[in-house]
Amino acid sequence: MTSKQPTARPALDWEYAPAPESAAIGRLRERYQMYIGGRFVDGRGDDVKSINPATEEPLAAVSTAGIADVDDAVAAARTAYQQTWSRISAAERGKYLYRIARGIAERARELAVVETLDNGKPIRESRDVDVPTAAAHFFYHAGWADKLQHAGFGAAPAALGVAGQVIPWNFPLLMAAWKIAPALAAGNTVVIKPAETTPLSILVLAEIIADADLPPGVVNIITGAGDIGAALVNHPGIDKVAFTGSTDVGRQIQASLAGTGRKVTLELGGKAANIVFDDAPIDQAVEGIVNGIFFNQGHVCCAGSRLLVQESVADEVNEKLRARIVTLRLGDPMDKNTDVGAINSATQLATIRSLSDTGEAEGATRWTPPCPVPDRGFFFPPTVFTQVSQSMRIAREEIFGPVLSVLTFRTPDEAVAKANNTPYGLSAGVWTEKGSRILGMASALRAGVVWANTFNRFDPTAAFGGYKESGFGREGGRSGLGAYLDTDDDAPPRISRGAAAAPGDKVAVAAAELSDAAAVADAAEVLADAAGVATGGHRERSVAPDNSAQSGIGSTGHSAESAPDSSRRIAVAKTYKLYIGGAFPRSESGRTYQASGGADAAIKANVARGSRKDARDAVMAARKAFKPWSSSTAYNRGQVIYRIAEMLEGRRAQFVDLLGRSPDDGVTVDLAIDRLVHYAGWTDKLAAVFGGANPVAGPFFSFSTPEPTGVVAAIAPQADPLLGLVSVIAPIITSGNTTVVIASRNEPLAAVTLAEVLATSDLPGGVVNILTGDPAEIAPHLASHGDVNALDLTGADGALRTELERAAAGTVKRVYARSTGKDDAAQDFSRAPGTARMRAFLEIKTVWHPSGAVSLAGGTGY
Ligand code: NDP
């Protein structure tokens, strides 16, 4: 760069001398093999040449897998899981991870060179970000291996088995570390496939793993293209799938895994908003914008690719941004001065070009700095689009290149609306000096990571992952570890219903809730009196049901013994309607079906048969209720749920009667009441138990906090029509979600009567919407509905479950379904609840803020 001087003094030449790193440090070999069962082996596929995207020269030949190699790798991982990895002590496992971390640190310079040669990213980034962060992930997870019981997933969380992992080309070594380290720490073995264009650094990692003497088969690395990735994730020998890549492929994977019961996490694309307010420190914000979109050539899922600037400072920001971009150095990634390196592949370059051309064609104004672009290799200059509208493809689609779309806003609400106006939800940035605005924006933005006055910060302790179609599951921190553990903690010792029917059933419940044998005696002692009073009262009412309670529920009005006679009053027949938005509309279908309840099915009623339109209305009501319910205080939500429990208690006899007066029914109603009390008490503890401060490196404050997912569509279990229903609804709404639930088809009376309880409680209309009818008819509309964020498939089995899981993949919905092999436990609602049902519908949001002066470089001042 040459600075222009106003006087006649000779201009100073600030041009940097080239400072290339030596490619020889990478010690590249001519050919690389795959790593299976602790040996470097040839695959059955054809060799491919990995090329240097900065020169288009071949770097090395790489052997690739055939389908049979996937079988071999999965078999090696299974054997290692069964014979060694699950048998050695957790502390020893940790030491292996520690060895790998040390190995990465020792070969850091070599790894950085290999990464830059193979990927095209600037050596400065490989050296300062990718490699050290990869080592840090192994160090961090080494420490977890023997502390899993403290991770918040129950007393003895178990490994899942064999993890099948597929990673992309943008951070090859770092993504490998994000995947392998938590899997191993949790006790799983791994088969991992890198992207076809960037296999080299993970094959160097294989050498480090071999040098660490990791038992054979614990980590297996197979190379190849998407077909091998597909074979891996669909392999029947895999217990857990972890994928990072495009949303399209993520959707395909979710759909193909429907019905398998396999645990899956998806880290997909993004279209992050980087929001600059007029009170922001503009110079630092400009650095953050540059870092947000040009780091790694914009090949970053969380890249700040949409800049939202407050209108009053838009000109200033644009001007300063352009002045800064002009100084960026594009070129040889091996040069330590380079800021913007090579695009990873010819295909990706074509994608970026084509989407950028669309931007111009749709009317946006394109600007690039006058920077020379090398003749060879895949390069794309930093590009800024202004005059962008939200409907343009460059504002909606992930470009995955150094292309920034600039939009403006006037008010914070407009900024939030625009930022959230995307199917993605991976990350966001906020630039402002106002602390309260930072926290307000952080909570309003539907994104898994929010950086305030900084951008693109990563740390192994801080959870990272998306909302909405950016995928589900987290990587890093406690939540990331949970993705590799069997965290289904809903199966402590069972309460015997028969035994609990005797006075003292609350003792059994309380003891089971404590889930500790030693606590049973204590619980009995503490609750003895209360049990006598409470259950005695209940039993009395249940033995002598109050028939007046039946008058409103379509009862025939006579008991089995009473013979019909001409003087008998015929009860008014009742048709139960749906419960939507706090009101009781008829089904749009106009159809009903007959349901019965009570002893000998004496109670008969017509129940609405919900339709597609009803499902849509219910989703609209649930969406409308979401904002107020999720932003009400945890204390208030707790109070509302306690109140529902109180009201249910008040109508206990009616529900016992409805259910049929078997000895179990009193217990079931009691358990349903107590379940509500249990979850009411959770509302104000979720943040403390599932969130926390992250001790990240550097001068930053970072915390992770749970947030509700949104609208959850649920299918209540067919059996256990009250307790099952309450056990499904309560954990969903506890954290602020709203729900549309399809009641038990054959026994809907408890649900429709519960709707009456809800309608007269303090629960705002729309938080819980209850549909009756055939789940097979209604549920597919909910599973494919764009405004439903998650599914609870507790009551869906077999073909219906598979169909719904497949439909959920269309918009990457989170799905809670019973774990394979544990069906009985998960369906036995008399068991004390764990936390899995609540966690299924929580998003973990991580918020970052510099601690000290607002500065990207340091931030050590005050
Ligand atoms: P993909 O999602 O296709 O690739 C990611 C990984 O998945 C690669 O290892 C790939 O193999 C593998 N893969 C491809 N198809 C399947 C499949 N059906 N089943 C299992 N694994 C599969 O991303 P692309 O590389 O094609 O990039 C396309 C676009 O995706 C980019 O332009 C960008 O927008 C986005 N992307 C987003 C990423 C993110 O982190 N959010 C990361 C990468 C891309 P192989 O590459 O060898 O074919």
Q: Please give the model's pTM, rounded to 2 decimal places.
A: 0.86
The mean-pLDDT minimum among 44-58, 500-514, 807-821, 839-853 falls in 500-514
* Cβ contacts of 340 within 8 Å, gap of 6 or more: 122, 294, 297, 328, 329, 330, 331, 381, 382, 402
Q: Identify which of 246, 345, 393, 468 to mutate to test ligand 1's pocket (most ligand atoms within 8 A of the CB).
A: 246
Instruction: Indicate the helix (H) or strand (E) that contains 500.
Output: helix 497-500
Say how many Å lie between the CA of residue 599 and the centre of ligand 1: 58
Atom number in ligand 1 closest to CA 175: 40
819 pLDDT band, cuts 50/70/90, is low
Q: Using an 8 Å Cβ cutoff, are 204 and 110 in contact? A: yes
- pLDDT of 263 over the 90 cut: yes
Report pLDDT for 489.
66
**Beta-ladder partners of 266:** 243, 472
DSSP 284-329: HHHHHHHHHHHGGGG--TT---EEEEEGGGHHHHHHHHHHHHHT--
Q: How far is the C-alpha of 350 from the C-alpha of 345, rounded, in Å?
A: 9
Say how many Å lie between the CA of residue 806 and the centre of ligand 1: 20
Listed residue (675, 615, 673, 618) closest to 831, CA to CA: 675
- pLDDT of 103 over the 50 cut: yes
267 belongs to the catalytic site: yes
301 belongs to the catalytic site: yes
Ligand 1, atom 10, residue with closest C-alpha: 226
Ligand 1, atom 14, residue with closest C-alpha: 226
The mean-pLDDT minimum among 74-88, 421-435, 560-574 falls in 560-574
Q: How far is the C-alpha of 183 from the C-alpha of 483, rounded, in Å?
A: 8
Question: CA separation (Å) from 818 to 263, 624, 687?
Answer: 11, 29, 25
Say how many Å lie between the CA of residue 119 and the centre of ligand 1: 14
Say how many Å lie between the CA of residue 168 and the centre of ligand 1: 5
Atom number in ligand 1 closest to CA 232: 20
Average of per-residue pLDDT values in the chain: 89
Say how many Å lie between the CA of residue 166 and the centre of ligand 1: 9
Listed residue (348, 411, 413) closest to 195, CA to CA: 348
CB-defined site of ligand 1, < 6 Å: 166-170, 193, 195-196, 225-226, 229-230, 233, 244-246, 249, 252-253, 268-269, 301, 348, 351, 398, 400
Ligand 1, atom 27, residue with closest C-alpha: 246
Tell me how many degrees the CA angle 714-242-685 measures, rounded to the nearest 5: 50
Of 21, 115, 125, 301, catalytic: 301
Say how many Å lie between the CA of residue 775 and the centre of ligand 1: 35
Q: How far is the C-alpha of 53 from the C-alpha of 333, rounded, in Å?
A: 10
DSSP 721-761: TTHHHHHHHHHHHHTT-EEEEEPPSS--HHHHHHHHHHHHS
Residue 780: exposure state from Cβ atoms within 10 A (0-12, 13-18, ≥19): middle
pLDDT (tens digit per residue) in 266-317: 999 999 999 999 999 999 999 999 999 999 999 999 999 999 999 999 999 9
- Higher pLDDT among residues 357 and 546, named by residue: 357
Q: How far is the C-alpha of 448 from the C-alpha of 427, rounded, in Å?
A: 6
Token pair, residue 490, equals 């809903």
Q: Using an 8 Å Cβ cutoff, are 401 and 299 in contact? A: yes
Q: Identify which of 118, 248, 249 to mutate to test ligand 1's pocket (most ligand atoms within 8 A of the CB).
A: 249
Ligand 1, atom 28, residue with closest C-alpha: 246
Atom number in ligand 1 closest to CA 225: 47
Look at strands 790-792 and 711-715 and give their pairing: parallel
The mean-pLDDT minimum among 1-5, 208-212, 339-343 falls in 1-5
Report pLDDT for 822.
59
Q: Using an 8 Å Cβ cutoff, are 297 and 401 in contact? A: yes
Q: How far is the C-alpha of 351 from the C-alpha of 728, rounded, in Å?
A: 44
Q: Residue 87 in 3-state DSSP?
A: coil
Burial pattern 270-306, b for ≥16 Cβ within 10 A else e, equals: bbbbbbbbbebbbebbbbbbbbbbbbbbbbbbbbbbb
Ligand 1, atom 11, residue with closest C-alpha: 226
Residue type, 478: R
Q: How far is the C-alpha of 72 from the C-alpha of 42, rounded, in Å?
A: 12
Q: Using an 8 Å Cβ cutoff, are 717 and 827 in contact? A: yes
Instruction: Indicate the helix (H) or strand (E) that contains 377.
Output: none
Q: How far is the C-alpha of 720 from the C-alpha of 3, rounded, in Å?
A: 78
Q: Using an 8 Å Cβ cutoff, are 114 and 25 in contact? A: no
Report pLDDT for 101.
96
Token pair, residue 615, equals 């499902």
Q: Identify which of 49, 67, 166 to mutate to test ligand 1's pocket (most ligand atoms within 8 A of the CB).
A: 166
> What is the pLDDT averaged over residues 437-443?
96
Of 21, 115, 267, 287, catalytic: 267
Say how many Å lie between the CA of residue 632 and the centre of ligand 1: 40
- As a whole number of Å, the CA-based R_g of the chain is 30
524 pLDDT band, cuts 50/70/90, is very low
